[in-house]
């Protein structure tokens, strides 16, 4: 059935879209209402998709959907669990409109039964794992048995839900959702966050500020207020379905995550980047040239933004500026707390570098056919084929070194960002002590821009090493593009030996923001992102750059790290062992 539906949708996509829209418009009676057909759901469960369209039209016909959506956004803003709140609201909406739909549109009864049957067959096991899901199963089973009257049900949960069947006012629906969420999901919500009156008192201005502030929290996708309202309005009447799966890195499922935004949003993005990451240090022409050169192929819809950070080039003192200051203090506190171990690492790593560089500066005495005569070797004349009676001085082959340190500054690094700072600081101090030029850059991805924040340049003085304490994490990470951009400057350096150190957690991940007229590439995650990052690493190694991955993530991501960096990666569990592992690799590069 599902395969047939999928083939039918592929062939008759436009016809299916129009059919779903007409269902929504017929039920709501408003042919100007915007309806977004869910073709992915129709491919997997056509009856559920059609019944969702009926409920969407009924929602708009019987209630003020904007008011309900706005309440949901405010509730989430104050701390409600979005997924659980949507589950409750979906059940409340079914209770409020289900029987009314059947009275006004008798033909919907059969569709409702087919949809319930399809949903129970597909998601019963998942729903049964939670109490709310169990209530939903019971509600649908009673409807399939013809027992639609739940008011006298012995199950108190079903009885409470049934109280919503007679409501006609939007305010009563909102009150019902709020009561059931507080009663079933989070009994402490009122004490911690406020009652319904306080939820509704939240202003638009507060939520708009929250919208961007929320983006800056770990691994969250930015959505403006209009999008949030639209999302809540759609999902409130949609039966939750298992997301369409695509192959993950180890053959497991991953979820396709795409954020849809408007052209107007994208026109504002650059100013938001300036406010939250600091001004760029490139001229507009330089920035345009770099984007043209590097943002190609699977990164074709992306951009690069070069900055020295919000604390160095702030546009204004906003929330992100204050957050960066607090994080810098936290990073410094961690350093002071561990300063003895850090100093020991720095000194040990410096000694290892100096010893190797000193050996390379030594002059060797080698046997030769010319040079200074060695009397004790005179006996060899006429007795051996190659007597070599002389010695000459030979200096070790000299090579200049340059090091680039690239740090994953995405939100997934937040639990360990202080440790990442200490690792980078140890490297910077040791390399400065022996005079090896090095650059340090952090990267993350904000919408379709990969932010490259420079903490020190190759030839900066040692005092610039302190800037690594400004390190903060946020958003996603497009590793392949960051490595491609960083490598260009490294390859232009005159030093013979070039080394790139990448501090990451082995999880390249970027949510695609699909703007109008974009090519909408495949989401940058899982095997797709790992292969791209590994390809950039191999390309660098093929032109003579030595690349080491320094892994500081979770053990479950080790397999991905190995696929990206091959045998040249270091797993650092304890800061006390950092200098041994990293130093051993760098020494090998110096000695080769």
pLDDT band at 360 (very low <50, low <70, confident <90, very high): low
Distance in angstroms (rounded) separating the CA atoms of residues 539 and 134: 53
Q: What's the mean pLDDT in 277-284? A: 94
**Is the per-residue pLDDT at 490 higher than 90?**
yes
pLDDT band at 148 (very low <50, low <70, confident <90, very high): low
Q: What is the pLDDT of residue 281?
A: 95
Q: What is the pLDDT of residue 532?
A: 92
Distance in angstroms (rounded) separating the CA atoms of residues 85 and 183: 12
Q: What is the pLDDT of residue 484?
A: 96
Q: Report, in angstroms and rounded to the nearest whole number, the Rg of the chain calculated over CA atoms.
A: 31
Residues of the chain with CATH 3.40.50.410: 319-352+399-591
**Is the per-residue pLDDT at 181 higher than 60?**
yes
pLDDT band at 44 (very low <50, low <70, confident <90, very high): confident
Q: What's the mean pLDDT in 270-294? A: 92
Q: What is the pLDDT of residue 443?
A: 95
Name the average pLDDT for the chain. Answer: 79
Q: What is the pLDDT of residue 221?
A: 33
Burial of 7 (0-12, 13-18, 19+ CB in 10 A): exposed
The 10s digit of each residue's pLDDT in 60-98 is 888 887 888 888 888 887 878 877 888 888 888 888 888
**Is the per-residue pLDDT at 481 higher than 70?**
yes
Q: Which residue has the tokens 């929250």?
A: 210
**Is the per-residue pLDDT at 464 higher than 70?**
yes
The 10s digit of each residue's pLDDT in 398-411 is 558 899 999 999 88
Q: What's the mean pLDDT in 359-366? A: 59
**Is the per-residue pLDDT at 226 higher than 70?**
no
Asked if residues 114 and 191 have their Cβ atoms less than 8 Å apart, the reply is: no
Most confidently modeled of 30-44, 194-208, 299-313, 567-581?
299-313
Q: Which range is least confidently modeled, 40-44, 94-98, 518-522?
A: 518-522
Q: How far apart, in Å, are the Cα atoms of 254 and each of 270, 430, 479, 561?
A: 30, 41, 18, 18
**Is the per-residue pLDDT at 136 higher than 70?**
yes
Q: What's the mean pLDDT in 535-539? A: 94
pLDDT band at 570 (very low <50, low <70, confident <90, very high): confident
Q: What is the pLDDT of residue 523?
A: 75
Q: What is the pLDDT of residue 220?
A: 33
Question: Token pair for residue 308?
Answer: 């020295």
**Is the per-residue pLDDT at 257 higher than 50?**
no
Q: What is the pLDDT of residue 232?
A: 57
Sort strands 253-255 and 245-247 into parallel, antiparallel or unpaired.
antiparallel
Specify the higher pLDDT residue, 440 or 54: 440
Whole-number percent of the chain with pLDDT over 90: 24
Spell out a b/e string for 302-332, using b for 16 or more CB atoms within 10 Å of the CB, else e: bbbbbbbbbbeebeeeeebbebbeebbeebe
Homologous superfamily assigned to 319-352+399-591 = von Willebrand factor, type A domain (3.40.50.410)
Specify the higher pLDDT residue, 238 or 256: 238
pLDDT band at 458 (very low <50, low <70, confident <90, very high): very high
The 10s digit of each residue's pLDDT in 99-109 is 788 888 887 78
* Residues paired with 440 in a beta bridge: 405, 456
Q: What's the mean pLDDT in 28-42? A: 70
Burial of 106 (0-12, 13-18, 19+ CB in 10 A): exposed
The 10s digit of each residue's pLDDT in 239-252 is 555 443 334 444 44
Specify the higher pLDDT residue, 151 or 95: 95
Q: What's the mean pLDDT in 276-288? A: 93
Spell out a b/e string for 397-406, using b for 16 or more CB atoms within 10 Å of the CB, else e: eeeebbbbbb
pLDDT band at 217 (very low <50, low <70, confident <90, very high): very low
Phi, psi of 448 (to 5 degrees): -100, 15
* Residues composing the chain: 592
Strand segments (E) across 162-316:
245-247, 253-255, 258-260, 303-307
Q: What's the mean pLDDT in 220-241? A: 52
Q: Residues 226, 229, 231, 234: is their CA dihedral positive or negative?
A: negative
Angle, helices 263-277/319-337, rounded to nearest 10 degrees: 40
Distance in angstroms (rounded) separating the CA atoms of residues 257 and 212: 19
Q: What is the pLDDT of residue 510?
A: 75
Q: What is the pLDDT of residue 323?
A: 85
pLDDT band at 211 (very low <50, low <70, confident <90, very high): very low
Specify the higher pLDDT residue, 448 or 493: 493
């Amino acid at each position: 059935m599902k395969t047939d539906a999928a083939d039918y949708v592929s062939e008759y996509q436009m016809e299916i879209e129009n059919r779903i829209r007409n269902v929504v418009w017929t039920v709501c009676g408003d042919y100007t209402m915007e309806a977004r057909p869910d073709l992915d759901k129709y491919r997997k469960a056509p009856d559920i998709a059609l019944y969702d369209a009926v409920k969407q039209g009924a929602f708009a016909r019987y209630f003020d959907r904007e008011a309900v959506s706005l309440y949901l956004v405010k509730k989430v803003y104050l701390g409600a669990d979005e997924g659980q709140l949507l589950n409750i609201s979906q059940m409340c909406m079914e209770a409020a409109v289900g029987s009314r739909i059947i009275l006004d549109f008798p033909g919907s009864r059969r569709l409702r039964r087919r949809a319930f049957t399809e949903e129970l067959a597909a998601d019963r096991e998942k729903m049964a794992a939670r109490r709310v899901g169990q209530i939903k199963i019971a509600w649908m089973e009673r409807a399939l048995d013809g027992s639609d009257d739940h008011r006298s049900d012995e199950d108190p949960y079903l009885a409470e839900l049934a109280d919503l069947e007679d409501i006609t006012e939007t305010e009563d629906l909102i009150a019902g959702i709020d009561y059931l969420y507080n009663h079933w999901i989070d009994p402490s919500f009122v004490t911690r966050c406020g009652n319904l009156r306080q939820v509704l008192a939240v202003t638009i201005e507060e939520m708009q500020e929250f919208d961007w502030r929320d983006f800056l929290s770990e691994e969250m996708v930015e959505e403006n207020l209009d999008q949030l309202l639209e999302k809540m309005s759609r999902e409130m009447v949609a039966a939750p379905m298992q997301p369409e799966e695509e192959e993950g890195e180890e053959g497991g499922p991953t979820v396709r995550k795409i954020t849809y935004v408007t052209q107007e949003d994208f026109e504002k993005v650059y100013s938001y980047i300036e406010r939250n990451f600091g001004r760029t240090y490139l001229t507009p022409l330089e920035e345009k040239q770099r984007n043209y050169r590097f943002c190609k192929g699977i990164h074709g819809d992306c951009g690069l933004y070069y900055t020295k950070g919000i604390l160095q080039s702030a546009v204004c003192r906003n929330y992100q500026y204050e957050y960066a200051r607090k994080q810098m203090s936290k990073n410094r506190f961690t350093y002071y707390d561990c300063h003895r171990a850090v100093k020991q690492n720095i000194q040990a790593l410096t000694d290892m570098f100096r010893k190797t560089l000193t050996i390379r500066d030594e002059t060797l005495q080698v046997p030769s056919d010319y040079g200074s005569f060695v009397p004790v070797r005179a006996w060899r004349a006429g007795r051996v084929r190659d007597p070599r009676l002389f010695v000459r001085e030979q200096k070790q082959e000299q090579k200049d070194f340059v090091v680039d340190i690239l740090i994953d500054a995405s939100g997934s690094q937040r639990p360990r960002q202080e440790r990442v700072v200490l690792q980078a600081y140890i490297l910077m101090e040791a390399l400065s002590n022996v005079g090896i030029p090095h650059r340090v850059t952090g990267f993350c991805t904000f919408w379709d821009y990969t932010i490259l924040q420079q903490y020190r340049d190759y030839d900066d003085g040692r005092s610039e090493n302190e800037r690594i304490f400004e390190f903060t994490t946020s958003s996603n990470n497009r590793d392949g593009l960051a490595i491609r951009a960083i490598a260009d400057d490294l390859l232009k350096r005159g030093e013979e030996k070039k080394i790139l150190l990448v501090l990451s957690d082995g999880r390249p991940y970027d949510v695609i923001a699909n703007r109008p007229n974009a090519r909408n590439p495949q989401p940058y995650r899982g095997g797709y992102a790992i292969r791209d990052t590994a390809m950039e690493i191999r390309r660098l190694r093929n032109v003579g750059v030595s690349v080491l991955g320094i892994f500081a993530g979770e053990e479950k991501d080790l397999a991905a790290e190995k696929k990206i960096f091959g045998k040249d990666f270091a797993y650092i569990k304890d800061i006390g062992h950092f200098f041994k592992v990293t130093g051993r690799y760098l020494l090998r590069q110096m000695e080769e």
